[in-house]
Amino acid sequence: MKTSSSTFHFMSFRPDFVLIRQHAFGMAENEDFRHLIIGMQYAGLPSINSLESIYNFCDKPWVFAQMVAIYKTLGGDKFPLIEQTYYPNHKEMLTLPTFPVVVKIGHAHSGMGKVKVENHYDFQDIASVVALTQTYATAEPFIDAKYDIRVQKIGGNYKAYMRTSISGNWKTNTGSAMLEQIAMSDRYKLWVDTCSEMFGGLDICAVKAVHGKDGKDYIFEVMDCSMPLIGEHQVEDRQLITELVISKMNQLLSRTPVLSPQRPLTTQQPQSGTLKDPDSSKTPPQRPPPQGCLQYILDCNGIAVGPKQVQAS
Ligand SMILES: Nc1ncnc2c1ncn2[C@@H]1O[C@H](COP(=O)(O)OP(=O)(O)OP(=O)(O)O)[C@@H](O)[C@H]1O
Ligand SMILES: [Mg+2]
């Protein structure tokens, strides 16, 4: 992307491919990177996940609408989606038939803006808070949960985890919790496989559900490539992501018309001297070696490979 400004220095670089590992948008402060996603889409930059899907993940109810479509296709037995009500604004937040509920305000992460509401008086109080936020809200039944389930898919690799709260917070992502890997089942595989088809396909995604004390599962969220890696196989997961990026880049190269045979991408460092071609004066201009494409993989969730992100503020 090329950016110019007279007031501040902005590093300019042209990536060949991007891996996006952070939220593109959140309503908390300094969490809006949608202008960068738009810029990358504008430039036709290939990425993991697709920029189109990342943009579509900037509104949780928009993603939930996709899950509703899956629920309608597969049915509640195969895809036990939690019942959720959408309120475009606070004015629609009249009373609900059953309590307790969880009200989720706007598009936020890490448990932010999620409130457990016990009765319609508290619900009215929360509606008055939503009135100040100028955003939407959703409400869903509060599930008295035994544990959370997370089914993740990285390319063709599947893993399932359960997370049990230790500190007693109903949000298992808040306070201390115990994480355990559990067996992948056909049921979990169906959940994550169908969800991975949304928005034209998600290379990396995870489905989250709560397992209630009633013994039932309630799917409540899909995460995209911004999902944090968890558990004891994070090194393997990181490797899987790397392989996914390389195979995507190789796919792109094989689709690009080239004048000379291309070597497939590897994780190795570019060899010095690969750019030199003794016959270059006789042959038409050639593309740089494919290894050169691996210049900028932005892993914003962990270690940044390539230039440091510069924020315009
Ligand atoms: N309807 C519900 N009933 C019971 N517990 C819930 C419900 N919805 C969410 N939770 C709990 O609260 C946690 C946080 O909820 P949620 O994932 O919606 O918030 P978030 O802001 O997206 O957090 P994260 O960024 O960690 O995904 C869940 O992991 C789950 O333990
Ligand atoms: Mg969540």
- Can you give the pLDDT at residue 281? 40
Angle (nearest 5°) at CA 308 between 276 and 48: 80
pLDDT digits 0-9 by tens, 9-59? 667 888 999 999 999 999 999 999 999 999 999 999 999 999 999 999 999
Pocket test for ligand 1, best of 84, 117, 220 (most atoms within 8 A of CB): 220
Q: Please tell me if the CB atom of residue 170 comes closer than 6 angstroms to any atom of ligand 1.
A: yes
C-beta of residue 289 within 8 angstroms of C-beta of residue 274: yes
- Can you give the pLDDT at residue 95? 77
Per the model's pLDDT, the better-predicted residue between 37 and 277 turns out to be: 37
pLDDT digits 0-9 by tens, 151-161? 999 999 999 99
Q: Please tell me if the CB atom of residue 210 comes closer than 6 angstroms to any atom of ligand 1.
A: yes
Spacing, Cα 109 to ligand 2 middle (Å): 6
Across 118-149, b (16+ Cβ under 10 Å) vs e yields: eeeebbeebbeebeeeebbbbbbbbbebebbb
Of the listed ligands, the closest to the CA of 102 is: 1
Q: Which residue type, as a one-letter code, is found at position 183? A: A
Q: Please tell me if the CB atom of residue 221 comes closer than 6 angstroms to any atom of ligand 1.
A: yes
C-beta of residue 226 within 8 angstroms of C-beta of residue 18: no
Q: Please tell me if the CB atom of residue 224 comes closer than 6 angstroms to any atom of ligand 1.
A: no
Q: How far is CA 239 from CA 67, 106, 243, 265, 280, in A?
A: 29, 34, 6, 15, 36
Q: Round to whole Å and give the CA distance between 267 and 265.
A: 7
Per the model's pLDDT, the better-predicted residue between 201 and 277 turns out to be: 201
- Can you give the pLDDT at residue 81? 98
Strand partners, 116: 102
C-beta of residue 155 within 8 angstroms of C-beta of residue 118: no
Span 276-293, average pLDDT: 39
Say if residue 6's pLDDT is above 60: no
Strand extents, DSSP E, the chain: 18-19, 47-48, 85-87, 101-105, 114-117, 137-141, 145-154, 157-165, 177-182, 204-212, 217-223
User: Which range (1-5, 121-125, 152-156, 298-302) has the least confidence?
Assistant: 298-302
Residue nearest ligand 1's atom 11 by CA: 171
What global pTM score does this model have? 0.82
Tokens of 104: 């989720």
